[in-house]
Amino acid sequence: MHSLRGNQRLLPGAQTGRLSSPAPVKRNRPCSVALFLLVVLLVAPLTGGCAAVGRNSGAAGGAARPVEKLPFPAAHRTTAGPAILEPTVVSYPDYRDPLIWLNRGMFAVNDVTYRYLLIPLSTGYLRVIPAPVRSSVANFFYNIKMPVYAVNHLLQLEPQPLGRNLLRFVINSTVGLLGLFDPAQSHWNLARAETDFEATLAHYGAGYGIYLVLPLFGPSDLRNGSALVVDHFLNPIIYLSENPQRTIIQGYDFFQNYAPAAEGYETLRRKSDDPYIFFRNLYLQGVQRDADY
């Protein structure tokens, strides 16, 4: 579920769900530096055909890449009420989907899971849990994942956002009551500086590689899929808890981030002739747009 992520910039046409046509793309231990280099070596050759995309993304600062991986695009996520969504994405002219037979099967499994499990649960969750409580939960999970952002800013040689995240963590973990509140932003104007290992790979010139559909996470690619593994081992939650509690906590983190966007998925799916192609095109256009801006 790559494309809907917290705190993303709104894409062109976000208020109406209409997206402009992009230019064709020619495009159980903490992670160590050795693991970083290994992933770069493995991913970069496989994504060489799209290296131009990665370089542009890195030039844009890397950190602009969204962090949360959700099953449909951020352009359709809204906290102020439902948006008017229309599947107006144009055909993507240059895509790399050699595993389409596998991706279609996984998309079908995800589609059933979203529509008959996650979307109904999300609707009930939003109705029952007050918005301030949901906001505090989101703040807590953001705060505890500070090592993910800090390590990747370090790898991207970005000391300023690294220092800001460390300062935010100290303030919000104390004054903000373990991160439930965000006084670093509200009182000291220290804005979040999100990034992930996908942005790190893009910073060093790795393109997106090939399109993939991941279980639950949905539309993704080789670069993003590799990054998810690394960021998983940078998440303190896996060291602070044991299974099954660990799985429950991480599952809830995923769910609370997914819930606000759930309704948009069904709306877009219902209006598209071929949901698989539509969400693939929408995702890949997002990849190009991230590279351009």
3 lies in some domain = no
- Give the per-residue pLDDT at 32: 42
Residues in the chain: 293
26 lies in some domain = no
CA separation for the pair 175, 102 (Å, rounded): 48
Residues 6+ apart with CB under 8 A from 287: 25, 27, 53, 208, 221
CA distances 3 to 68, 73, 77, 208, Å, are 8, 4, 10, 14
- Give the per-residue pLDDT at 263: 83
- Give the per-residue pLDDT at 92: 56
Among 16, 20, 51, residue whose Cα is nearest residue 281: 20
Find the domain containing 140 and state its range: 33-283
- Give the per-residue pLDDT at 212: 96
Domain count, the chain: 1
92 lies in some domain = yes
Q: What are the phi and psi torsion angles at 128 (to 5°)?
A: -90, -40
20 lies in some domain = no
The model's pLDDT over 185-242, given as tens digits with 9 standing for 90+, comes to: 999 999 999 999 999 999 999 989 999 999 999 999 999 999 999 999 999 999 998 8
Q: Are residues 77 and 267 in contact, defined by beta-carbon separation less than 8 angstroms?
A: no
246 lies in some domain = yes
Please report, in angstroms and rounded to a whole number, the separation of the first and last CA atoms in the chain. Answer: 21
Residues of the chain with pLDDT under 50: 1-68, 73-87
107 lies in some domain = yes
- Give the per-residue pLDDT at 211: 95
Q: Specify the pairing of strand 218-221 against strand 211-214.
A: antiparallel
Tell me whether residue 4 is exposed, middle or buried, using C-beta atoms within 10 angstroms of its C-beta: 0 to 12, 13 to 18, 19 or more.
buried
- Give the per-residue pLDDT at 203: 92
- Give the per-residue pLDDT at 229: 94
203 lies in some domain = yes
Q: Are residues 63 and 197 in contact, defined by beta-carbon separation less than 8 angstroms?
A: no
Helix (H) or strand (E) holding 208: none
25 lies in some domain = no
CA separation for the pair 253, 29 (Å, rounded): 21
